[in-house]
Amino acid sequence: MTVHGATWVQGAAGSQFPITNLPYGAFTVTSDERPRLGVAIGDHVLDLAAVLPDVAALAEPSLNAFMAMGRSAWAEVRARIIDLLCDTSEQATVEPHLVPIRSVQMHLPLEVADYVDFYSSEHHARNLGRILRPGQPELADNWKHLPIGYHGRAGTARVSGTPVVRPRGQRLSPSTSQPEHGPTRRLDIEAEVGWVVGVPSELGRPVPLHAFRDHVFGACLVNDWSARDLQSWEYVPLGPFLGKSFLTSVSPWIVPLAALDDAWLPPVERDTPLLAYLDDTGRRDGIDLTLEVRLNGTVVSRPPFAGMYWTAAQQLAHLTTNGASVRTGDLYASGTVSGPEPNQRGSLIELSWNGTAPIRLDDGSTRTFLEDGDEVIISATAPGPQGTTIGFGSVRGRVVAE
């Protein structure tokens, strides 16, 4: 366990990016340069290639090469960064490579290989069941036996801040019951946590629960924008497709697992026996994150991640149990994070109960689904070592008319 000293960087202590966090991202200062890799510290970004020139992977424009190096390299680089930022004798040489965070443009920090989206909040799954399939069981028979998930479109994962162009597509006309083509009328969010794979696995070799940390590099925030009317028309029998594929926004900072050491906790109690490859009895694979969803500045939800039924380790074990391999850059997301309380729901279809109960914003307006011009910001924090708070930054997007 690394002992963190105090950093000489002003303003880091007490910020969302203290010395115990050090999330990785890709940034530019001028519009014509190639993205550079950095870690966030307080209000600054440390230019990694400048201070660790011997690590060739840190001179790449995305994290993939560094993430592929594996746990010992991740630990060594993290220890060296901590030393550089805590040792006052380094300050004079390192300080010129701290760039004010307000002056940088952030980029997608990884090249996304495969993108998988899970459905692992019991509260979310039950809410959707009640809303969409009234009179039927809230959960499908399989839900408590395996983490339900599906593949999404990797090519439309974009960094936080990318405009959310209202997608067009087929939806049923309420008057004719025939499909028509036009802009979605039910544009929604899904507040999620994403996990990024660093070290690949081999085809035919499942990744057991205990090997999670050998493969996964870190965590981020994901907003899986959803067009509910497109989705409900298309999804039988092969699942969501165009209702999701137009954009998936990813936060610019990848929080390394080492920063989350103090946030792990036992997962929620399971009421259904699990098959061996998913049985995490005695493991601390749950994680204590609290998300916050703001719509036009109003906090509309604070979803607690600790209550997720399926853990990130189980999701990885499940998605490889058939022999499927993972690659550097694979991103898999938790599914919408919703808690048991109405103000802990991670999507508008839940918060407005399918549009029947509009939510009120601080400016007095109400919302069911998103209107053009609306801005959504999802952020999260976790408890860090020594009383610090580990911030995830945020994933944001503003809706623009198509």
Residue ranges that bind a copy of itself, judged by CB under 8 A: 113-114, 119, 140-142, 145-146, 148-156, 158, 165, 167-170, 179-181, 203-204, 206, 227, 230, 233-243, 245-247, 275-277, 318-319, 321-327, 330, 402
Distance between CA 15 and CA 18 in Å, rounded?
6
Nearest alpha-carbon partner for 224 in 272, 271, 188 = 188
Nearest alpha-carbon partner for 223 in 150, 175, 157, 299 = 157
CB of 53 to a copy of itself, least distance (A): 28
CB of 389 to a copy of itself, least distance (A): 34
Of 3 and 236, CB closest to a copy of itself:
236
124 a catalytic residue: yes
Sheet holding 290-295, edge to edge: 164-165, 389-400, 375-383, 290-295, 298-301
Of 151 and 213, CB closest to a copy of itself:
151
Of 158 and 302, CB closest to a copy of itself:
158
Structure tokens, 384? 């860090």
Of 7 and 347, CB closest to a copy of itself:
347
Distance between CA 337 and CA 120 in Å, rounded?
8
**Catalytic annotation, pick one of 44, 124, 215, 318:** 124
Long-range CB contacts for residues 365-370, cutoff 8 Å, separation at least 24? 365/296, 367/295, 369/185, 369/186, 369/187, 369/188, 369/228, 370/164, 370/187, 370/188, 370/189, 370/295, 370/399
Supply the DSSP symbol for 185.
S
Of 49 and 113, CB closest to a copy of itself:
113
CB of 314 to a copy of itself, least distance (A): 13
CB of 353 to a copy of itself, least distance (A): 19
Catalytic annotation, residues: 124
